[in-house]
Structures are given as C-alpha cells and as structure tokens.
Amino acid sequence: MTYLGLIGAATFVLAAVPANADDASRNKEIQERFAQCDVNRDGKLTLDEAKGCMPRIYDHFSMIDSQNKGYVTVAEIEAIANR
C-alpha cells in the first residue's frame, strides 16, 4: 500500500468514528446498566429498580420522570446525560 493509500484508509477510519465519541461511550454504558437494572425486562426503569442499581438515576428520578409516569426509559436517561 502506498503512503497516500494509508492516508486515505486512516481518513476513512476516523470519519467512521462518531463526532462525539464520549456520548456514544456514555450511551453504551447507560444501556448496559439499564439492562442490568430493568429486572422485569419491560424497557422501563421504576424508582424501585433504580434504587440499588443506578443511584444517580434514583436521586434524580422525579426530574427525569417529568411526566410522573412512574418509570423512565433508557432514551430519557441518555437525553439527560448527553445535555
């Protein structure tokens, strides 16, 4: 491979990385922790489920659950975390 070919390959790899890799990494961690905490696997995290498993979510549950549904979703947590 030529020098120019290496530069092209490196550019392609860098372009494939999300513009904000920190958000992607944070979202992956949130998704993994959410999956561990959502004991009934319904895609909803209740205050009780968050209590021992996601303490920061537990502490800020009412702010995240602004509609008072009694649960939060992974998308809601990601939205707050990525502000």
Q: Is the pTM of this model over 0.75?
A: no
Query: For every residue of the chain, which 3-state class applies, written as one string?
Result: CCHHHHHHHHHHHHHHCCCCHHHHHHHHHHHHHHHHHCCCCCCCEEHHHHHHHCHHHHHCHHHHCCCCCCEECHHHHHHHHCC
* Per-residue pLDDT tens over the stretch 44-75: 999 999 999 999 999 999 999 999 999 999 99
The CATH number of whichever domain residue 47 belongs to comes to: 1.10.238.10
Q: In this predicted model, what pLDDT tens digit does every residue of 12-25 receive, in sequence order?
A: 333 344 446 798 99
Counted domains in the chain: 1
In-domain check, residue 70: yes
Indicate whether 25 belongs to any domain.
Answer: yes
In a domain, 74, yes or no: yes
Range of the domain at 42: 19-81
Classify residue 34: in a domain, yes or no.
yes
Look at residue 10 and tell me if it is in a domain.
no
